[in-house]
Amino acid sequence: MLDIPSSVRVDVEALLAAQNHMGVCDAIEQYAPVGKPDTMTAPHFPKVAGIDSTVPPPAHTVAPASPAPAPPSSPGAPGAPGAPGAPGALIQDRLAGWVSDLTTLHELTERLARTAVMDDALHEVLRAGAALVGARRGLVVLEPADGLGPDTTVGLGLARADLGHIETVPRGATSYGRILDRTDGTGEPEVHADLLSEDGLDPRHREVAARLGYAASFALPLATEAAGRLGAAVWLYDEPAEPVERQRHLVGLYTRYATEHLARLLELERARAKSRTIAEELLPPRLPRVAGVQLAARHRTGPRGGGDWYDALPLPEGALGLTVGSVTGSGASAVAAMGRLRASLRAYAVMEGEDPVAVLSDLELLLRLTEPARSATALFAYCEPALRKVVLAGAGHSPPLVIGERRTEFVETSLSAPLGMLACWEAPSVEFSPEPGETVLLYTDGLLHRTGDPMDRAFARLHAAAAGVPRTIRDDPGAIADHVLHTVLPDGLDAADSDEDVVLLAARFE
């Protein structure tokens, strides 16, 4: 973050005394903005870089009264200490411009710092840069130099089709392409003040520029020594133009900070992607086909990766084992623990799956001996599709939900503690028989927790969502799972960043 002082004080007496030997003026000159200073006649918030700033003016500034004409002998006459052309007035104008620029950069970088997702940050960089250089449109090409991705292109004022047209221009003929292909790592901008009149402009580039209606461009690399090269930003002008020196100075300061922020988000994005990949690889790549039952699963992983799992395992004599569960904690360690428990449960299910209590008892003993600091909730169901018979046991887990034409109800299960919480876990099993066409929905607690409601309201919301499944999709377990997921977690809550994983496993009995 830029180190911007909260206030700048000017000692008027010192300024007046400095007219003779200009000591103050020389000191301020060292901190003046690059380029020729803009003359200001009032300390109100000025235009930034030649355009109207998007940042509101500071509340403490007021417009001064217009000075009345004064006789030559008075203090306000030309050449007097308070005259508009005196060095004191020039110093105040420079200070006001300096404070204005710093305030603008502070506001823009504060907005950028509040973004927590890469896509939001890229859009904010484009909007802020466009305000600083006086452009309406632009694009950011994210292409980290290490080649590990992610690679993406984001536009401002450009539709996806417009970005597609720009991407048809040979890479070496574009501003961002030349920046990204540099090997010396320089941070020099690419300026094209009048594209259509340039000699040697690529014909395809000329055609695309004319079609999209831009006549000039200004491009900067998103690169610092610490972060390396992350990509390039390009702003487009409707008419021949280029940013002045002051604009280049401001946008250069902003993009240096923006690159550091994007580098942090990039590292976080890669860590999340790795965690999601590992979690997905530890879950079944596909669900088995078993006569008499249709299966579907939905899984949403939190940003740090959680320990929720599901599984469907064919068992001898046409039986089927269904399980969902959740390991406490998040991150790589929880994902690894989830993988170990799921693999162990599969082994116990093959050996004694017809007795769900024994399966969970063995799993609890393993957890207590190998992971004493963890606990887990789990549910295991032994299904015989030919008989439409289900025997299940749960360890601190939410009860399954039966969804059918005539009923939508939670299965009555006994109260039990999570695995690893007691010296010896034990709970009775429950047996029930789904009717033909009914779907048994298993889910993890993340579905309820993501609603943000108390548990009683979350259960009521889940029941209402299941009861409202349209008749036209009741024969499709995948459609049922999607309907429940999007109804319980509307407005993108199912995809939003959350510490809670979500798992749904639907089994429709024929």
pLDDT of residue 186: 64
pLDDT of residue 91: 85
With contact defined as beta carbons under 8 Å apart, do 334 and 307 qualify? yes
φ, ψ (nearest 5 deg) of residue 18: -80, -5
Neighbours of 301 (CB within 10 A): 24
Q: Which token pair is 59?
A: 């509340």
Q: What is the DSSP secondary-structure string of 422-466?
A: SSS-----EEE-PPTT-EEEEE-THHHHTT-S-HHHHHHHHHHHH
Share of the chain above pLDDT 90, in %: 59
- H or E element that contains 250: helix 245-282
Question: What's the CA gap between 380 and 393, in Å, rounded?
Answer: 6
Band the pLDDT of 27: cuts 50, 70, 90.
Answer: very low
Question: What's the CA gap between 382 and 302, in Å, rounded?
Answer: 29
φ, ψ (nearest 5 deg) of residue 121: -65, -40
pLDDT of residue 90: 84
- Give the domain 116-276 fold: Beta-Lactamase (3.30.450)
pLDDT of residue 499: 67
Residue 253's identity, in one-letter code, is L
CA 122, 128, 133, 137 torsion-angle sign: positive
285: left (phi over 0), alpha (psi -120 to 50) or beta: alpha
Q: Which token pair is 469?
A: 């499944």
pLDDT of residue 208: 95
pLDDT tens digits for 299-347? 987 666 678 999 999 999 999 999 999 998 877 788 888 999 999 999 9
pLDDT of residue 273: 80
Highest mean pLDDT among 97-106, 192-201, 253-262, 496-505: 253-262
Question: What is the average pLDDT across 445-453?
Answer: 90
pLDDT of residue 495: 66
The ranges assigned to domains in the chain are 12-60+80-110, 116-276, 283-509
Q: For 283-509, CATH number? A: 3.60.40.10
Q: Is 292 helix (H, G, I), strand (E, B) or coil?
A: coil
pLDDT of residue 305: 64
User: 401: Cβ–Cβ under 8 A, 6 or more apart, which residues?
Assistant: 408, 409, 410, 411, 440, 441, 443, 462, 463, 466
pLDDT of residue 423: 72
pLDDT tens digits for 260-275? 999 999 998 888 788 7
pLDDT tens digits for 35-94? 433 433 333 333 433 334 444 444 333 344 444 444 444 444 444 444 555 677 888 888
pLDDT of residue 498: 66
CA 158, 164, 202, 177 torsion-angle sign: positive
Comparison of pLDDT for 401 and 415, the residue scoring more: 401
